[in-house]
């Protein structure tokens, strides 16, 4: 009897562990504890070199150099699962410095990206002809999210009426006169 009870308890604990592990919202490559230590995004952060941060947004451009890649990202706030929230407004852009080569076809303009890393000194550069000071994050983990599919929007005229449309058609009750 004791063995049966012990087996049941261990199975219950194992099942509870699996359920709790499934509740982790942020992908493992973006996980960081304690989350309170993560620095929130602000344009041109100064004096926070080496502090951890997890930022997200939409890729604006990729600049490949000899041994690293600079990914220019339009910042968007994070949802609880680490995915960038699609909004119409952004407080600014940041540069994600990634080691090695980043393929601009995969990291295409408009794709969503979340990065985890440490902050570095801001860099002055340009967006077109406009001078801009970028916050910089040295990436230790990243997640490139699947492309967002365009939703086809169909227009329905609210005043159109189809005289042959019967919403109850194959299941209309028979009337006996």
Per residue in 134-177, pLDDT tens? 999 999 999 999 886 665 666 666 666 666 666 666 666 666 55
- CA pair distance 163, 44, nearest whole angstrom: 62
At 31 the pLDDT is: 75
Range of the domain at 51: 27-144
**What percent of the residues of the chain are helix, what percent strand, and what percent coil, each to the nearest 5?**
15, 35, 50
In a domain, 170, yes or no: no
Percent of the chain with pLDDT over 70: 68
- The pLDDT score that the predictor gives to residue 18 is 47
Q: How far is CA 64 from CA 61, 67, 120, in A?
A: 10, 8, 18
**What's the total number of domains in the chain?**
1
In a domain, 18, yes or no: no
Domain contains 76: yes
Q: Which CATH number goes with the domain that contains 113? A: 2.40.50.140
pLDDT at 154: 66
pLDDT band at 133 (very low <50, low <70, confident <90, very high): very high
121 found inside a domain:
yes
Question: What pLDDT digit, counting tens, does each position of 60-104 carry?
Answer: 999 999 999 999 999 999 888 888 888 888 999 999 999 999 999
* pLDDT > 90: percent of the chain: 44
- Residue 154 located in a structural domain: no
Q: Is the pLDDT of residue 21 over 50?
A: no
SS3 label, residue 38: coil
Nearest alpha-carbon partner for 102 in 57, 145, 62, 58: 62
């Amino acid at each position: 009897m004791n063995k049966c009870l012990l087996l049941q308890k261990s199975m219950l604990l194992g099942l509870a562990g699996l359920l709790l592990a499934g509740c982790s919202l942020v992908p493992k490559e973006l996980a960081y504890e304690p989350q309170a230590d993560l620095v929130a995004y602000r344009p041109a952060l100064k004096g926070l070199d080496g502090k951890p941060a997890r930022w997200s947004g939409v890729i604006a451009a990729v600049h490949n150099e000899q041994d690293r890649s600079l990914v220019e990202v339009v910042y968007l706030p994070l949802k609880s699962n680490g995915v960038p929230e699609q909004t119409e407004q952004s407080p600014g852009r940041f540069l994600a410095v990634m080691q090695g080569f980043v393929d601009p076809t995969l990291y295409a303009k408009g794709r969503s990206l979340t990065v985890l890393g440490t902050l570095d000194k801001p860099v002055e550069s340009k967006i077109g002809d406009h001078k801009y000071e970028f916050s910089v994050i040295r990436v230790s983990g990243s997640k490139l999210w699947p492309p967002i599919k365009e939703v086809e929007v169909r227009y329905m005229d609210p005043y159109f009426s189809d005289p042959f449309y019967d919403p109850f058609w194959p299941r209309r009750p028979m009337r006996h006169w």
